[in-house]
Each structure stands twice: as structure tokens, then as C-alpha cells.
Amino acid sequence: MNPLHMNIVLFEDADVAKLYPITVGRPAYAVSCASYTLVDLLTPCCTAIRGVVRPHLIEPQRFDRPPLHQTQLDDAQPTLLVSAVVAPTAANRRTLVEWATSGKSGAIYAGERLLAALLPAKTPLPAREANAYELRDYLAGPAIAKLPAAAHQLTWFNYPHDVVQANLDTFADNLELRLQEGDYQQRQDGVFLAGEANIGDHVVWDSSSGPIIVEPGATIGPYCYVRGPVYIGRGARILEHAAIKDSVSLSHTTKIGGEVEGTVIEPYSNKQHHGFLGHSYLGSWVNLGAGTSNSDLKNTYGTVKMEYRGEKVATGMQFLGAIVGDYAKTAINTGIFTGKTVGVCSMLYGFVTTNVASFVNYARLFGQVTELPADVMIATQERMFLRRKVEQRPCDIQLIHDMYLLTQDERQLAGEPLAL
């Protein structure tokens, strides 16, 4: 699309912590859903885009997404403020673009939570720096309060399970947008490739329920079954005999085997062995050991209730698996019960019958739940990065320390006798 002459500012508000463990170590605008992140979805729409993130994410943003940190905003152009928790859906983008094109200033709220605001040209902008805490006073101030309510609706992520639901709801629509704007060649009915991919023999493609998109450098082994809608990211590897089906979004450099259904997997995560993963979210640098499986359906066939930091939430979802934070690992034959969250940098053994705090060795079946020091995870990070030829930078090391401090209360709330 042709970019609009406008600024976009993606901001994180105080309630972004309700998306833990997903957003402990990543900006909410970088959460994948149905093949897109919000920042990737909106970047083509404007001439200038900035990210305003929590303090511990400023340095990672500076290195990983320099334009979000360095791009100068133009006060002479209108500015669209967008909460980083707005879901990266084609429908949301259409709404925001149509609204911006109309030029009608206003604000969109969900209850009292600001989701977006359109400011007229020549409005002084506070987002010169990238610290979300510094922006919050402005968002709660008179410049936003005086804006009229806009008659637009946006879907957004309030809790982690909302990512799984949005992934299911918007997949086909998001892939249609990709096909409209991308350079894809149709390999066969409903199967589209963006470039060279290594496709093994006897792969069965089923696009009867939605398209299948394969990005450059992907590898699909022999005897695989792929049922759309499915997105296979750049450099992803699907191993032989795998079954990938019904709204699976694989980010770049993932390695996948076994059966995966209705799931989002962020970059550099591995589930390469047999086992079932369904209606779940996996962060980055996650590794699921051989035979690891999760449940995504209760024996009663009822809807799933989640618990987030002591708050019990009715999801209304019948199928809901696990929410797994960055750097989490499971041992062989780990079984994760329905609707559980797994914190960042934790290691799991045996049956996972409760939520797992961040930075713990979880072997509750054997009577052991022990705290995992940040230094152990930093050493693990270095070894993982080397395997993928990724440089471990000072900001990566610092992020582990920051995540450890940010999740201290989880280990206290867990109610387990933790020991170092």
C-alpha cells in the first residue's frame, strides 16, 4: 500500500503487564498473531513510526528495530497513537487506515483504556524518547481527554489467551492481506510460495479451509501433512511426518515436528520431536523436549478458565492449551495440563498441573520447585545463540537480569517452597 503522510506511535500502557508471560521480554507490538506483529502490519501504512516501550526494552528496541527508536516524527503531519496491545489483524489495520484517511481526530477506548488516538497536524508530540512511563502522563492528560470519542471498534489483547483466540479468528483474513501485498507464486491450489523453499516428497497440502503461505528458505520434510490456514515463516523447518494444521503461525527460524494445531510460535523456538501442541502460544527460544504434549480440551468439554497472577479469568474458549514464555524448556515426556501458563526462563519436568512461575526448575511431581538464577539462564542463552549463529549482546544479557527482577513476585505468588 502507499504510505499515508502521518506519524504512528506504538505505545505500551501500564496494563501491558496483564499479558505476562508473553510481554515480560518483548514489546506488545512484537507479539505474533496469524503471521503478523502489530509493528510489521502498520509500518507500511505511514511515513514515520516510533515505538514507546517500557524502560527495560529500550536498548533491545534500539538494536533490533532502529527505525522505531530513531525515526523523527513530523509535527506538521497528523499522528496516530496506537496501543501496542491492539491485535495485529487485517481488520484493525483497515479500521485505522480509514480513520486516519478521514482526518477526524478522536480517541478509541475499551472501557477506560485508550486503544488509539488520532491527533491533528501541528499537535506537539511528547514521544521524542522511547520510555513508555514518560508518555503515560501525556496519554492521561488534557490533550487526549478533550478528543471526541471515535465510532470505531478495535480488537485487542487484554490477557494472553486473547492472542490464541485472535489467531484463530483472523488467520484467513490476515493471509489474504499477505497475498494481496506480497510477491507469492501459487504452487498448487491454495498453496503459495514467496521464494525458494525445500519441499520434500509426498507432502500433503490441504487448503480447503484456508490458504497456506511458505516464506523463502523454509524446509518441509517428506510425508508431512499441512492443512490451512497456515503460515510458515522464513527459514522455518518442518520435520518429516509432521502434521501442521488449522491456524498455525510459525515465525522465522523455528523447527517443528509432531502435531501442531491452532498455535502461534515465535522466532527461534523448537518443537522438533513427536508430541502434540494445540491452541497455544510459544515465545522465542523455547525448546520442547521429545514427547512433550499439552492438553487443549478439558475432560468435561467445558470452557477453560485461566489464572493470571492470582486473577481467575473465564475465557469462553473450549480449546485452549498453554501460554509459554520466552526461553522456557521442557524435558522429555513432559505433559502440560489444559490452560496453564509457563513463565519465562523456566525448565519443566514431568506433569505440569499448575501455572509455572518464571525462572524456576519445575518438577512438582517429584516434590521439587527450585529457583533458577539469572546467571544460569545467561549461560544457557549464550549456548543457544551460538547454535543459531546469533551474537549474544550486552543488551541480551541485561534483558535476562531485567526479566528476573520483573518476575520476582511470580515466585512469591506461586506458593511453592523455592530454594536456590
pLDDT of amino acid 417: 47
CA–centroid distance for 385 within its chain: 20
Element (H, E) at 406: helix 394-406
What is the percent of the chain with per-residue pLDDT over 70, rounded to a whole number?
97
Identify the weakest region by mean pLDDT among 9-13, 17-21, 277-281, 361-365: 361-365
CA 360 vs CA 49, 75, 392, 396: distances in Å: 37, 47, 22, 19
Q: What are the C-alpha distances in Å from 278 to residues 240, 245, 247, 339, 369?
A: 19, 10, 10, 11, 26
CA trace torsion 175, 176, 180, 186 (10° rounding): 80
pLDDT tens figures, 222-234: 999 999 999 999 9
SS3 content of the chain, % helix, strand, coil (to 5): 25, 30, 45
CA gap 7, 75 in Å, rounded: 8
pLDDT band at 143 (very low <50, low <70, confident <90, very high): confident
Per residue in 166-178, pLDDT (tens digit) is 999 999 999 999 9
Per-residue pLDDT, 134? 76
- pTM of the prediction? 0.95
In order of their start, the domains of the chain are: 4-145 (no CATH), 161-413 (2.160.10.10)
Residues 233-253 as b or e (16 or more Cβ within 10 Å = b): bbbbbbbeebbbbbbbbbbbb
* Partners of 281 in beta bridges: 264, 323
Kindly tell me if the per-residue pLDDT of 131 is higher than 90: no
What number of H helices and E strands is found in the chain? Answer: 10, 34
354, containing H or E segment? none
Q: What is the pLDDT of residue 416?
A: 52
Answer for the pair 309, 159: CB distance below 8 angstroms, yes or no: no
- Verify cis geometry, omega within 30 degrees of 0, for the bond prior to 229: yes
User: What is residue 419's predicted lDDT score, i.e. its pLDDT?
Assistant: 46
Q: What is the pLDDT of residue 69?
A: 85
Which one, of 56, 32, 88, 24, lies nearest residue 342 by Cα? 24
Which tens digits make up the pLDDT trace of 87-102?
A: 999 999 999 999 999 9
Residue 376: which residues within 8 A CB-CB, separation 6 or more? none
Report the pLDDT value the prediction gives residue 160, as an integer from 0 to 100: 98
364 falls in which pLDDT band (50, 70, 90)? confident
Q: Find the mean pLDDT for residues 20-38.
A: 98
Rounded to whole angstroms, the Cα distance separating 118 from 144 reads 9
